[in-house]
Amino acid sequence: MSWSICMSPDRTTNESSLCFESLTSSEMGEITLASMSTDWFSRHGIFFNFDSCVNFTGIFNSSYADCAKDDPDMSEEMEKDIITLLSEEINLLKNVTNDSLEHTQALIIDAKKTSSHYQKEAEKCNTGMETCEEARERAQAALTEERKLSVKWEQRARECGWKDERRVYS
């Protein structure tokens, strides 16, 4: 027994039929599972060469099932139908997706913690800069006040007869 999956284009409706063929030595039967436009397949990531069929000759041959009859795990796997196998595959994909999602969420939480730490450090730095700037402004104001007082006392001293004996070198 052999199986093949093929797409048969229908020239009148621009649709294609997906069919499974079961071929035996005595008969050839064709079961059409779906008749859908080729757009449906391309939207779902299924691309076919309409001129050829994919042939799975011998995959379901009984000799393959017999080769693992002594191994209980393997014989159990060989007895599963396609729905069970696909369900297991979907469950495995869900597990992988959930693990990936958990890993991503952990990375996001770590990034948020790191970002928060650096933001606090930046706030400390900004506070220190503001304090330093305020102190500089106060010192500059005090220096300006001191210069005004010095000029005032120097004027009073000159009024009282003080002469500046500092030499100016040019």
CA–CA dist 53, 7 (Å, integer): 7
Last residue of a domain, one of 70, 101, 121: 70
Phi, psi (degrees; rounded to nearest 5) at 40:
-60, -45
Q: 100 and 54, same structural domain?
A: no
Last residue of a domain, one of 70, 88, 120: 70
Q: Which pLDDT does position 84 carry in this prediction?
A: 87
Q: Beta strands 54-57 and 2-10: pairing type?
A: antiparallel
SS3 160: coil
The 10s digit of each residue's pLDDT in 62-79 is 555 566 667 777 777 777
CA–CA dist 44, 161 (Å, integer): 104
SS3 111: helix
Q: Which pLDDT does position 57 carry in this prediction?
A: 44
Q: 86 and 14, same structural domain?
A: no
The answer to whether residue 135 is domain-embedded is yes
Q: Which pLDDT does position 52 carry in this prediction?
A: 43
Q: Which pLDDT does position 111 carry in this prediction?
A: 98
CA–CA dist 5, 82 (Å, integer): 15
The 10s digit of each residue's pLDDT in 42-64 is 555 555 444 444 444 444 445 55
Q: Which pLDDT does position 106 carry in this prediction?
A: 97
Residue with tokens 């050839």: 28
Q: 47 and 92, same structural domain?
A: no
Q: 155 and 88, same structural domain?
A: yes
Cβ(24)–Cβ(15) below 8 Å: no
Closest CA to 16 of 43, 39, 44: 39
Q: 90 and 29, same structural domain?
A: no
The answer to whether residue 41 is domain-embedded is yes
Last residue of a domain, one of 70, 91, 123: 70
Q: Which pLDDT does position 43 carry in this prediction?
A: 59
Q: 45 and 20, same structural domain?
A: yes
Q: 89 and 57, same structural domain?
A: no
The answer to whether residue 58 is domain-embedded is yes
Percent residues over pLDDT 70 in the chain: 57
Single pTM value for the model: 0.40
The 10s digit of each residue's pLDDT in 78-92 is 778 888 889 999 999
The answer to whether residue 167 is domain-embedded is no
Q: 90 and 62, same structural domain?
A: no
The answer to whether residue 169 is domain-embedded is no
Question: In which domain, by residue range, is 65 found?
Answer: 2-70
Q: Buried (b) or exposed (e) across 87-125, using 16+ Cβ within 10 A?
A: eeeeeeeeeeeeeeeeeeeeeeeeeeeeeeeeeeeeeee
Number of domains in the chain: 2
The 10s digit of each residue's pLDDT in 23-46 is 444 433 333 334 445 555 555 555
Q: Which pLDDT does position 24 carry in this prediction?
A: 43
